[in-house]
Structure 1
Amino acid sequence: MPFGHDMVHSLATVVELVNTSPSTGGDEGLPSLAELRAFVESRQISGVTALTPRDLGQVRLVREAFHRVFISKDQAAAVRLLNALLSETSITPRLTEHDGHPLHMHYFAADSTLAEHVAADCGVALAHLLVEGEAERLRTCSAPDCDRVFVDESRNRSRVYCDSRTCGNRMHVAAYRARRRA
C-alpha cells in the first residue's frame, strides 16, 4: 500500500485498538486507565497528558465504532459508519514533525480528547483506504476461534490470519495433520 508513515501508523493503531475489545473474542484489553496509558505510550499517541475515567469510556466507544467498520458487510456500510464517527470529531489537519518522525499529517484538533484524537487520525486513515477502493483490506481473522481484525497489507490481498505465527501457524498445522490422517 502506498501510504506514508502516518497512515501506516494510524492503521496499525486502529487495528491494535479494536483488538483490545472483548468483541474480538478475548478479554477486555483496556480494563483500566493503566492499560489505556500503556496503549497510548506503545502506539506513541502524541499530545496526551492526563487520562481520566471519561477518556477510558470514550475510547472504548470509539473502539466499538471502528470494530463495526471492520466487520461491515460492504463498502457502503463501512462508509456510512465511518462518516458517522468522523462527524463527531473536530478535524483540524496540520503538518507536524515530532519524536523523530518525518513530516506528517495530524487531523485532530489541538484541544481534542484522546477519543477524538484517535477517531480523527485513525478515521482519516481508514477513510483514505476506502477512497482508494481498498475496503477489502479490512479483514477479520479466518481462524475459527479468532475474531481479531487486521489490515491486509499484502500485495495480492491474500492474507487471511491476524498473525501468521499464531493463528496462521496453528491452522496450517491442523490442516497438515488432517491431511496426514486422511
Structure 2
Amino acid sequence: MLWDDFMNSEWHDWRGSGKSEDRLDKPEWLNDWLERHRLSVDAAPSSDELAALKQLRLLLQRMVKDIVAELEMRAEDLTELNKIMKGGAVIRRLTMADRLYNIALTPVDHNWRQVMAEIAASFAHVLVDADASRIRICDNPDCLWVYYDDTRNRSKKYCDDKCCGNLMKVRRFRARQKAAARKPT
C-alpha cells in the first residue's frame, strides 16, 4: 500500500545494530518509490517539499501509534490529514462520526503536494474501507515497520515471520537459556 510503504521509508536495522536511514533523502530510492506507486512529479523535491514529506510521515506515524494503542483519533490530526489531502488533484476530506470514517471527494490539480495528498488519501481509505484495527507496528523493537495484518485470525506480530519473527524467537530462547544458567542448582 502507498501509505505504509511511504511510512517505512524511515528504515531501522531490524537485527538490532542501531543503524537507521531516512530513505526520503536518497533520490534513487525516492524515484523507485514513485515509479512503484505510479506517481509522477516534474522535479526532485525542494528542501521545503522534502521537509513537508517528512512532516507527513511523522503525522502518519503518530496516527498509527494511536490506532495500535486503540486510542481515538485526535481532532488536530484529522484536520492536518484533511489539509494535506486538500493539496492534491482531488480534494479529499476525511470525517469521523461515532468512530466511523468517510471520505468526500472534489476534483482539482498535480505536483509534490499531489503526491502527499495521494499518500494521505491512501491512509484515509484504509481507515474508511478496511479495518483500521489491523494496522500494526512490528513487535521487534529494533524494526518498527508498519504493516497491515491481513491474516485470517489477526495474529500477525511481525512484519516478516522469517526475519523479525525468527530473530525474536531466537532472542527469547537465548534469554531463557541465560536465565536458566543463572538459577542456582
* TM-score band w.r.t. shorter chain: 0.5 to 0.7
Structure 1 vs Structure 2 CA RMSD? 3.3
The 3 A distance-change label for structure 1 pair 51 and 70 is: same
Secondary structure of 2:72's match?
helix
The alpha carbon displacement at 1:177 in A equals 5.3
Please tell me whether the aligned partners of residues 139 and 151 of structure 1 are also in contact (alpha carbons under 8 angstroms). yes
In the alignment, the residues of structure 1 paired with residue 33 and residue 152 of structure 2 have an alpha-carbon distance, to the nearest angstrom, of 29
- Aligned identity (percent) is 28
Q: Which has the higher strand share?
A: 2
Could you give the per-residue CA deviations for residues 108-130 of structure 1, whole angstroms, max 9, x where no partner exists? 9663332x334333333332332
Over 4 Å off, 4+ runs: 22-25, 107-110, 176-182
Residues 1:21 and 2:10 are matched in the alignment: yes
Size of the aligned set, in residue pairs, is 157
TM-superposed deviation, 1:78: 5.8
Tell me the CA shift for residue 18 of structure 1.
0.9
Aligned equivalents of 2:62, 2:106: Cα separation in 1: 21
TM-score, normalising length: structure 2: 0.66
In the alignment, structure 1 residue 71 sits paired with structure 2 residue 65: yes
**CA distance in structure 2 between the partners assigned to 1:164 and 1:134 by the alignment:** 22
Bigger Rg, structure 1 or 2: 2
Give the corresponding residue for 2:111: 113
- Residue from 22, 45, 65 that aligns with 1:52: 45
TM-score scaled by structure 1?
0.67
- SS class of match (1:27): strand
| Equivalent-residue separation in structure 1 for 2:75 and 2:124 (angstroms) | 8
Task: Structure 1: give runs of 5+ residues left out of the alignment.
Answer: 1-11, 94-106
